[in-house]
Structure 1
Amino acid sequence: MFNEKLDDIVTELVKNYDSDLIQFDSPNRHFPSRSAIVGIIKDLRRVLFPRYFGDERPCASGPQYFIGETLTHIEYELHREVREALLFRGGDNLSYHEADAQASQICSDFFYRLPEIQRMLFDDVQAAYDGDPAAQSREEIIYSYPGFFAISVYRIAHVFYELNVPLIPRIMSEYAHSHTGVDINAGADIGRFFFIDHATGVVIGETTKIGEHVKIYQGVTLGAISLRAGQKLAGKKRHPTIEDNVTIYSNASVLGGNTVVGAGSVIAGSTFVTQSVPPNSRVTSSGVEVREPGCANLEVKVPGEK
């Protein structure tokens, strides 16, 4: 039965190969290896937090040898994957040698920023420890917290996003997403001392800007207002700005590129915010309470009231 229909099936599938989604006849369009990129993330975590991840005991060789040897291995793998990603985007307009040279520069720029990534992650660990009474140690956070894992991968992917590397930031982000349920677009701009408590179901969109000492809980969405414009909105501010020292509780949604949550505010759980709120606000389903600095009284504003 199958053999009788095989020719017809092949003919129809060949017709579909005319789609620009199919790369069968594009020898210069390369895909980076997802498994290799996951391996790079794991190796980077070994460097950033030695002995927490990986099987070896690096203390025997000393930190300089361990870091140098591991980074040399990572650079070899990363250079290849970045080159493949550049060739995928460039197609016939980019030669192998041009892509190879660009990949070398990108890798160099990334590794130069690795110490700063590590310092930011130290701050994120401290934020989690300070913000979670259930945390018995900072080591526990590094080793086991899904929110910290997602933030770690984001911090790495964000640098590649800023370096304009195609595909790889998304592959990294979706790897963390698939393991934690936390979806942080690599383009988001997130400040220091960031903590995601419980993690699962969090969504942070590409143009979100988050200040320092921000804490969010499970199920929070920092997203865009769905519009029909679609791709016409690419590159424009579509997601909210969250200023310093803001706490957003579970299942709250803060949407829109013009929405700013002022510093020191608290967004209650299961609220839906599409308009800016001033600093030091407390937003609930009933309205917005604003405490002016140095003032004991609360000004209550109910959505829809003038």
Structure 2
Amino acid sequence: MNRLIAITDHRANIIDQPQPDPALDAIADQLALIRLTSQQRRYPGRAVPKLPSKPAILQILGDVIGLLYPRHFGPEGLAGDAIDTHVRRTLARTRLRLAEQIELEWLLAPDADPDGMAVRALAASDAFLHALPQIRDLHDTDIAAAYRGDPSARSLDEVVFCFPGVAAMLRHRIAHRLGGLGARMIARIMAEYSHALSGIDIHPGAQIGPACFIDHGTGVVIGETAVVGRNVRLYQQVTLGAKRFEDDGEGGLVKGQPRHPVIGDDVVIYAGATILGRIEIGKGAIIGGGVWVTDPVAPGTVVSQARPRLDHP
């Protein structure tokens, strides 16, 4: 046992105090040169700014979810009479932490003016926190839609805890609000974390109305400029994507142009459907599984694949 401890301590010392190695030093020098060149290209003529912290942003996301649903996602063992105190303390902590991350993001801009940036970032953080009741009310409609729309759901608590589409929608509601306040990188970090957790890829720029239910959800993609109306139901592998990307004539892509579908109220889109381009799917339409849609669909229309034909030998 003592010999094992001695070997472990020896290995720890090697890691903590690495011995000179010309080959490794050469690799480190090459990486340093690449890093310096990249930084000079991204931040010409100014000091390299500090980056936002991805772990800090994800901690803020977790704290906000715990604020919105403290009984489900607050600290373990949180007593009912302690919820309000927990919420107030978390609000105060989140206000400052979020403002710090927003300021760091904004300071990355080429024309960033640090004067007054902290004050503006704190104002954006305050605006986000003041929107939390609206986010909670809106997401409650998603929870209710999932409960109504899935016969497997036995309770609202089960929906909150277990449904990936509901989890993805909650994180989208949060990220969308932050993106609208100008914290686009922070919103994107939250959205990509949600994508990794749920398999549902929703760009934070997408506008999604109340009572959206994503059933099963794996492989759903909703693009940046998509607009989804009220009481819409999507199944797994649905894509609301772009048909083409406009270029600026010099090989670059034109950013921010509306290029994703507009989905009307009360639309149902079944598994594997692909809807591309800035087209409108009218109110109450039903898009069948596996279809490919690139033209507008009138209200109340049912779009389906041709029925398979069985030829007997």
Q: TM-score range by the shorter chain?
A: 0.7 to 0.9
* Equivalent residue letter for 2:267: V
Tell me, yes or no, if structure 1 residue 175 matches structure 2 residue 175: no
Tell me, yes or no, if structure 1 residue 234 matches structure 2 residue 255: yes
Question: Deviation digits for residues 169-188 of structure 1, max 9, x if unmatched?
Answer: 10010010011111100000
* Equivalent residue letter for 2:135: I
Q: Distance between the aligned counterparts of 2:299 and 2:151, measured in 1?
A: 26
Q: Is the 8 A contact 2:43 2:110 kept in 1?
A: no
* Equivalent residue letter for 2:262: T
Change in 2 beyond 3 A, CA 1:205/1:79: same
* Equivalent residue letter for 1:17: L
Instruction: Name the SS for the 1:222 alignment partner.
Output: strand
Match of 2:174 in 1: 156
Match of 2:129 in 1: 111
Equivalent pairs: percent with the same residue? Answer: 34
Match of 1:299 in 2: none
Change in 2 beyond 3 A, CA 1:36/1:4: closer
- The structure where strand makes up a greater share of residues is 1
Q: Distance between the aligned counterparts of 1:130 and 1:56, measured in 2?
A: 30
- Deviation (angstroms), 1:88: 1.7
Match of 1:290 in 2: none
Match of 1:247 in 2: 268
Q: Distance between the aligned counterparts of 1:212 and 1:268, measured in 2?
A: 19
Question: Deviation digits for residues 221-257 of structure 1, max 9, x if unmatched?
Answer: 0000133628543111100000000000111110101
Q: Give the one of 198, 204, 227 matched to 2:216.
A: 198
Change in 2 beyond 3 A, CA 1:187/1:3: same
Q: Is the 8 A contact 1:17 1:24 kept in 2?
A: no
Matches within 5 A, 1:270-289: 270-286=290-306
* Runs (5+) with no aligned partner, structure 1: 288-306
Q: Distance between the aligned counterparts of 1:166 and 1:28, measured in 2?
A: 20
Question: Deviation digits for residues 262-295 of structure 1, max 9, x if unmatched?
Answer: 00011011110011010001111239xxxxxxxx
Change in 2 beyond 3 A, CA 1:6/1:68: closer
Tell me, yes or no, if structure 1 residue 256 matches structure 2 residue 277: yes
Matches within 5 A, 1:1-306: 3-4=22-23, 6-7=25-26, 10-11=29-30, 14=33, 17-19=36-38, 27=47, 29-53=49-73, 54-61=75-82, 63=84, 65-90=85-110, 93-95=112-114, 97-227=115-245, 229=247, 231-257=252-278, 259-286=279-306
Q: Is the 8 A contact 2:228 2:265 kept in 1?
A: yes
Question: Deviation digits for residues 130-153 of structure 1, max 9, x if unmatched?
Answer: 000000111101111111111000
Question: Deviation digits for residues 77-132 of structure 1, max 9, x if unmatched?
Answer: 111111111112256x321x422011111011111111000000110000000000
Instruction: Choose 1 or 2 for highest CA Rg.
Output: 2
* Equivalent residue letter for 1:240: P
Instruction: Name the SS for the 1:276 alignment partner.
Output: coil
Q: Is the 8 A contact 2:281 2:297 kept in 1?
A: yes
The more displaced of 212-221 and 105-114 is 105-114
Change in 2 beyond 3 A, CA 1:265/1:102: same
Q: Distance between the aligned counterparts of 1:231 and 1:40, measured in 2?
A: 35
- Deviation (angstroms), 1:22: 6.0
* Equivalent residue letter for 2:108: F
User: If the length of structure 2 is used for normalisation, what is the TM-score?
Assistant: 0.84
Instruction: Name the SS for the 1:201 alignment partner.
Output: coil
The more displaced of 133-142 and 1-10 is 1-10
The more displaced of 37-46 and 170-179 is 37-46
Over aligned residue pairs, what C-alpha RMSD do you find? 2.4
* Runs (5+) with no aligned partner, structure 2: 1-19, 308-313
Q: Is the 8 A contact 1:252 1:272 kept in 2?
A: yes
Q: Distance between the aligned counterparts of 2:207 and 2:264, measured in 1?
A: 11
* Equivalent residue letter for 2:215: D
Instruction: Name the SS for the 2:275 alignment partner.
Output: strand
Instruction: Name the SS for the 1:155 alignment partner.
Output: helix
Instruction: Name the SS for the 1:52 alignment partner.
Output: helix
* Equivalent residue letter for 2:287: I
Q: Is the 8 A contact 2:175 2:190 kept in 1?
A: yes
Q: Distance between the aligned counterparts of 2:34 and 2:171, measured in 1?
A: 40
Instruction: Name the SS for the 1:254 alignment partner.
Output: strand
Q: Distance between the aligned counterparts of 1:82 and 1:56, measured in 2?
A: 32
